[in-house]
Structure 1
């Protein structure tokens, strides 16, 4: 299900072209009839016998063109109805998401835990598309690279997302996509109050798997410090046995994330922790009133809707999403967490419970039984 302003414009253009063509032909045929009537007169019987034949041909052509026009209009009308229903559905989905977020944020027992001050850490996570008055809070492992491409196009830096090199995306501050923390206090307040604001979330346990694979297993960007600096610190603290050789294991990563002493380690690891930091700490959703929150699992629907609501649907399109790549995979999650003791999974859940509650993700009972 996709909501796209361009699709509607396309149908309207087709309708306009067909309508114009029919009107042009009808006027041309009528002009020819009048011309023949004036020049040939009505004196000759042969002419009088030919005119009705000509009129019959014209009538058939007009009937055919009217039928084509009717078909085009029916298709446009059906597409408009479909788009309207899709838009109503997406409106309802996103209202419910924001309503759930607000309910959890307002809960008296949770306010001290969920209300994160909007400090430099959060402000440095928010990217500014000043040209289109859009703010995007980065939550790693949910397709941020693609959203940065979208905003670079929206800012007028590039014509389309396909032409943007990866190195430009990761050096976005030098290429027209600054962080909110770079602005003055007055500008920050104004942007937070008046710009369109959004971010994307993902099932917390699934996101942890993605962070582990991306930084400690595959590491496609060759960020050596994750394997050479961060992994040894975690291994030394959480590996059972005497040997510290070998790569970081997922079970050790989970134990670190659920540890009561995690904050001490995080202070040693620096800003690299953003790849597994909670959404609560990254974007302060109870303190900043976001307009939309997309879900990675439904990104094929959410991305066009976000662009539509941000006023960008006619400006830029979200890059194609391969079928199934963003969907929740319970089997994959069960496979990864199978090596982790239940008590450590429970501790991990307790660390990320706010991300589950705020964004409507269910407690993973199948991992805790």
Structure 2
């Protein structure tokens, strides 16, 4: 027995040494895992330097601005600032491919054909800005942050060396901002660019976009465009307000009047012809950019612009040439409360007619039917 004990003791000592070594290896791996390929910062984004991370959540969030708008998704991609150990990094390219797949599917839906297809005529080509130097086409969809994208293209076209040097009053001056439109080119040049250039545009929840357009043009009017208040508003009031005279409480165009006008599919055609191109701020994405008739490479979403913008620059091959301007906190957040407030008191019939007009926009880009307004 005495001769066996030293052997047992030696085996026991080796066993504990092995366990100790394994423990040290685990500790070292845990330490280095904090620094190896679990997080990233968005390239080219000049806003907050806070680390941006991704997680996949099965719980719907109250902030649609922080999720990828997908095809009726119940498990949205959610942006959060959790610890590196729970990070999952979905591929932005696959997100864009899902958006384009949804777009293609809805474009083939015969029941929505009239809401999703349009002729690629001069009006559409007027909306598309050209950067020949980098072979880029950008279709303008008002009220989704287009001013900043125009600044990006102005710099790329060489009109100004950097975004900060561009005067604000020049951005929308299409005679002086150095941004040619596709409509200014010959048919051969147009087809060549449509078939070979990188093409993109940005979308936003359709009803929130309408609220933004109403506030910008008929309430605040920051760029001083008097025709909205003095010509367009009175014409809409005369045709669509049930009580035409102002009674002290309904001075100027009300959102209710605006909704009734937009939901009148055929009756407003005469007004729209009189209003001219001023109506671009509330036209559908189909009318503006013909997404079912032009093959776009990328569809960005206003609600996730802080994620989309740097990747659009990368996909276009210009991320080393220019950065998208910094995005103020909260400016792209979807505000359900604001939408509800504006639609309060508006009849279910008028909201339903409005939704019928913009149903193509909701379907093409994965925005959910606004049940809180329609049900």
TM-score by length of 2: 0.75
1:259 corresponds to 2:261: no
Contact 1:235 1:244 in 2 (8 A): no
Mapping of 1:154-233 within 5 angstroms? 154-233=156-235
Quote how far apart the aligned CAs of 1:264 are: 2.1
Give the Cα separation in 2 of the matches to 1:231 and 1:127: 29
Which residue number corresponds to residue 131 of structure 2? 129
Q: 1:307 aligns with which of 299, 313, 318?
A: 313
1:331 corresponds to 2:337: yes
Contact 2:42 2:310 in 1 (8 A): no
Give the Cα separation in 2 of the matches to 1:203 and 1:220: 22
Quote how far apart the aligned CAs of 1:236 are: 0.5
Greater displacement, 99-108 / 82-91:
82-91
Contact 2:260 2:350 in 1 (8 A): yes
Q: 2:283 aligns with which of 277, 280, 283?
A: 277
Deviations 1:11-66 (A, max 9, x none): xxxxxxxxxxxxxxxxxxxxxxxxxxxxxxxxxxxxxxxxxxxxxxxxxxxxxxxx
Quote how far apart the aligned CAs of 1:368 are: 1.2
Give the Cα separation in 1 of the matches to 2:223 and 2:119: 32
Where 1:264 maps in the other structure, the secondary structure is helix
Shift in CA distance, 92/169, structure 1 to aligned 2, threshold 3 Å? same
Which residue number corresponds to residue 5 of structure 1? none
Over aligned residue pairs, what C-alpha RMSD do you find?
2.3
Give the Cα separation in 1 of the matches to 2:111 and 2:348: 27
Shift in CA distance, 241/107, structure 1 to aligned 2, threshold 3 Å? closer
Q: Unpaired runs of 5+ in structure 2?
A: 1-30, 44-52, 55-87
Greater displacement, 275-284 / 173-182:
173-182
Contact 2:115 2:286 in 1 (8 A): no
**Which consecutive aligned stretches of 4+ in structure 1 deviate over 6 angstroms post-superposition?**
80-87
Deviations 1:198-241 (A, max 9, x none): 00000000000000000000000000000000000001111122
Paired residues, number: 298
Shift in CA distance, 87/139, structure 1 to aligned 2, threshold 3 Å? farther
Shift in CA distance, 241/138, structure 1 to aligned 2, threshold 3 Å? same
Quote how far apart the aligned CAs of 1:340 are: 1.0
Quote how far apart the aligned CAs of 1:163 are: 1.3
Give the Cα separation in 1 of the matches to 2:359 and 2:172: 30
Deviations 1:161-191 (A, max 9, x none): 1111012111144332111000000000000
Give the Cα separation in 2 of the matches to 1:311 and 1:76: 27
Where 1:207 maps in the other structure, the secondary structure is helix
Q: 1:250 aligns with which of 249, 255, 258?
A: 255
Shift in CA distance, 244/133, structure 1 to aligned 2, threshold 3 Å? same
Give the Cα separation in 2 of the matches to 1:180 and 1:317: 24
Give the Cα separation in 2 of the matches to 1:146 and 1:339: 35
Give the Cα separation in 2 of the matches to 1:113 and 1:276: 15
Deviations 1:247-286 (A, max 9, x none): 1001100100001312222112111000000001100000
Greater displacement, 261-270 / 211-220:
261-270
Which residue number corresponds to residue 355 of structure 2? 349
Quote how far apart the aligned CAs of 1:353 are: 0.3
Quote how far apart the aligned CAs of 1:244 are: 4.7
Quote how far apart the aligned CAs of 1:77 are: 5.7
Which residue number corresponds to residue 3 of structure 2? none
Quote how far apart the aligned CAs of 1:89 are: 2.1
Contact 1:202 1:296 in 2 (8 A): yes
Give the Cα separation in 1 of the matches to 2:339 and 2:235: 25
Shift in CA distance, 234/98, structure 1 to aligned 2, threshold 3 Å? same
User: Which is higher, the Rg of structure 1 or of structure 2?
Assistant: 1
Where 1:174 maps in the other structure, the secondary structure is coil
